Structure 1
Amino acid sequence: MMALRLYEEDEHVAAYLQHRVTPRELIDTIMDFMGSKTPNKFDLAVDVGCGNGKGTELLAPFFKQVVGTDISAGQLEMANNKCQNVSYRQSPAEELAFESGQVDLVTAMTAAHWFDRPRFLKEAERVLKPNGCLALLSYTMDMELEYGHATSALNSICKEFYAALLPFRNPCLGSSSSQIYLDMFDSCTYPDKEWNGCHKIYRTVPINSYIGMVETFTSYQKLKRQNAAEAKRLSEDIRNKLLAAMQVSSPETELTMVVKYFYMLARKP
Structure 2
Amino acid sequence: MADSNLIRIYEGEKIAEIYSKHRYAYPPLVAETIMNYLRKIYTNTDGNTFEYMLDVGCGTGRSTHAFSPFFKSILGIDISEAQIEQAKKINESDNIIFKLSDGHTFPVDDDSVDLVTCGAAAHWLDIKKFEEECERVLKPNGCCAIYISTFQDVRNLVETDDKMKPGSNSHVFRTCLREFLDDINAHERNYIAHDGYQDIFDRIHNTSKEWLTFRHEREYTLDKYRAYARSINDYNIFMNKEKPIVDPIDVLAKKIKKTLGKENEPDEEVKMIIEYEYRFIMLTKPNTGTDW
TM-score range, shorter chain: 0.7 to 0.9
Aligned to 2:290: none
The one-letter code of the counterpart of 1:208 is D
Deviation at residue 160 of structure 1 after TM alignment: 3.1
Aligned residues between the structures: 263
Residue 132 of structure 2 is aligned to residue 122 of structure 1 = yes
Deviation at residue 248 of structure 1 after TM alignment: 3.5
Structure number with bigger Rg: 2
The one-letter code of the counterpart of 2:273 is T
CA distance in 2: counterparts of 1:174 and 1:254, whole angstroms: 27
Query: What's the secondary structure of 1:229's corresponding residue?
Result: coil
Aligned to 2:268: 251
Aligned to 1:54: 62
The one-letter code of the counterpart of 1:239 is A
Query: What's the secondary structure of 1:78's corresponding residue?
Result: helix
Distance 1:252 1:58, change over 3 A: farther
Identity in percent: 27
Aligned to 2:243: 228
Query: Contact 1:145–1:155 (CA<8 Å) still a contact in 2?
Result: no
Residue 284 of structure 2 is aligned to residue 267 of structure 1 = yes
Query: Contact 1:42–1:104 (CA<8 Å) still a contact in 2?
Result: yes
Query: Contact 1:45–1:103 (CA<8 Å) still a contact in 2?
Result: yes
Flag structure 1 segments of 5+ consecutive residues without an equivalent.
none
Flag structure 2 segments of 5+ consecutive residues without an equivalent.
287-292
Cα deviation code 1:156-200 (max 9, x no counterpart): 466335314226131345664522321244x113x4x4213x532
Residue 81 of structure 2 is aligned to residue 83 of structure 1 = no
Task: Map 1:88-107; keep pairs closer than 5 Å.
Answer: 88-107=98-117
Aligned to 2:14: 11
Cα deviation code 1:197-226 (max 9, x no counterpart): x53221122212222323333442343233
Aligned to 2:2: 2
Aligned to 1:65: 73
TM-score normalised by the chain length of structure 1: 0.85
Deviation at residue 92 of structure 1 after TM alignment: 2.7
TM-score normalised by the chain length of structure 2: 0.79
Residue 211 of structure 2 is aligned to residue 195 of structure 1 = yes
Aligned to 2:202: 183
RMSD: 2.8
CA distance in 2: counterparts of 1:13 and 1:43, whole angstroms: 29
Query: Contact 1:48–1:69 (CA<8 Å) still a contact in 2?
Result: yes
Deviation at residue 26 of structure 1 after TM alignment: 1.4
CA distance in 2: counterparts of 1:18 and 1:234, whole angstroms: 21
The one-letter code of the counterpart of 1:10 is E
Deviation at residue 252 of structure 1 after TM alignment: 5.9
